[in-house]
Amino acid sequence: MTFVRFLSKTIPTNLRESKHEVFAAWRIGRKLCTRDYAGVYEAICCYDWSPEAKDMLAAFLAPLLHLQDIICSMPGL
């Protein structure tokens, strides 16, 4: 987590403020580092992504959604 805080401070403020999609992607990374998976999903869904980023996020989410389907189909869970 210390590395994440250090890295966040090295990103220039003007980049963080002017590139909203970069900031939104950074929010996903922070949620992943803290293992807040519900927060990851929320961070992905609450932003209006560019078409290029949507393709990337779909590829990123596909394995996670597949794993969720497997877990939900297990008896007793």
pLDDT one-digit tens code per residue, 48-64: 889 888 888 888 777 77
The domain total for the chain is: 1
Specify whether the CB–CB gap between 30 and 18 falls below 8 A. Answer: no
Q: What number is the average pLDDT over the span 18-23?
A: 81
Q: Once rounded to an integer, what is the mean pLDDT over residues 6-35?
A: 78
Task: Work out the pLDDT band at 71, boundaries 50, 70, 90.
Answer: low
Does the pTM of the predicted model rise above 0.75? no
| Domain range enclosing 22 | 2-73
pLDDT of residue 28: 84
User: Does 67 score more than 70 pLDDT?
Assistant: no
